[in-house]
Amino acid sequence: MTKETVEALVEGGKATAAPPLGPALGPMGVNIGQVVAKINEVTASFKGMQVPVKVIIDKDTKEFEIEVGTPPASALIKKEAGVEKGAANPLQEKVADLLIEQIIKIAKMKESNLLGADLKAKVKEIIGTCNSMGIKVEGVPAVEAIELVNQGKFDQEIKSEKTEISAEEIKRLEEEKKKLAEEMEERREEFTAQAKEIMAQMEGQEKNRIRSKLAELKIPQPIINELVPEEKEAAPGAAPTAPKEEKK
């Protein structure tokens, strides 16, 4: 019995016979439509995310089986939190809040890829990823949530492997996310006003010096880059640009 394996990255529930999947399956002699339909069936829960899949084909019988990997933990966290991206400055900004049940759900989905010896340790790994993305857990910064896990606050939920949350809790999380977005926008406006004030005081000075001063005052880097773009160094050996002659 000879088997061949085709690997591809597909959008959950939306695989097609287009490249890269179709051309790779064509020479195998399998029914591509059936393979695509099966992939979409088993990856439906990963809608909106890129999912690694393996199609294992028996070259003699043309029968196949599908193995589905899981997206990165960060992708699962973003989906569960309902955000497109994490915070640009996770130490100062928070973009969403998750409940421990949602963390347990993600830890179980990534169980085979995590290093922790048990579910509790794996839950802490997922919370660690939340920390780097500016995602709160149970209403507190992720580093504090890890300490709560260590203290045993969520032992009952972890032991029972609880992953479901109520409609009321979902609504509350959405309201919290909206509130966090408003707070982020307010902080951004404050930082921008502060940066512009410093720039006015340092008018005429070198850009790099202004950038350093703004960084010293802990202005977020994206705002610094927006207001004072970094000067690009000339390519080695490039001739200096001659000044333009004034028209008489």
User: What is the CATH number for 154?
Assistant: 1.10.10.250
Residue 52 lies in a domain: yes
Residues 148, 89 within the same domain: yes
Q: 94: burial class by Cβ within 10 Å (0-12, 13-18, 19+)?
A: buried
Residue 40 lies in a domain: yes
Residues 149, 104 within the same domain: yes
Residues 142-182 have pLDDT tens digits of: 999 999 999 999 999 999 999 989 999 999 999 999 999 99
State if pTM tops 0.95: no
Greater confidence (246 vs 90) lies with 90
Q: Which tokens belong to 193?
A: 């006003």
- Would you say 26 and 32 are in contact if contact means Cβ atoms under 8 Å apart? yes
pLDDT at residue 239, rounded to an integer: 55
Please provide residue 205's backbone torsions phi and psi, each rounded to the nearest 5 degrees. Answer: -85, 165
pLDDT grade for 46, boundaries at 50, 70 and 90: confident
Range of weakest confidence among 82-86, 223-227, 228-232: 228-232
Residues 59, 134 within the same domain: no
Strand, coil or helix: what is 201? helix
Give the domain extent around 42. 3-68
pLDDT grade for 235, boundaries at 50, 70 and 90: low
Residue 176 lies in a domain: no
The domain spanning residue 44 has which CATH number? 3.30.1550.10
Residue 173 lies in a domain: no
* Average pLDDT along the chain: 88
Residues 117, 153 within the same domain: yes
Domain count within the chain: 3
Residue 248 lies in a domain: no
Residues 57, 123 within the same domain: no
Instruction: Tell me the average pLDDT across 96-125.
Output: 93
What is the per-residue burial (b if ≥16 Cβ within 10 Å, else e) of 219-245?
bbeebbeebbeeeeeeeeeeeeeeeee
- Asked if residue 247 has pLDDT above 50, the reply is no
Residues 35, 90 within the same domain: no
Residue that finishes a domain, picked among 43, 68, 93 = 68
Residues 86, 122 within the same domain: yes
Instruction: Tell me the average pLDDT across 23-38.
Output: 91
Q: How many CB atoms lie within 10 A of CB 107?
A: 25
Residue 150 lies in a domain: yes
- Asked if residue 246 has pLDDT above 50, the reply is no
Strand, coil or helix: what is 35? helix
- Asked if residue 22 has pLDDT above 50, the reply is yes
Residue 55 lies in a domain: yes
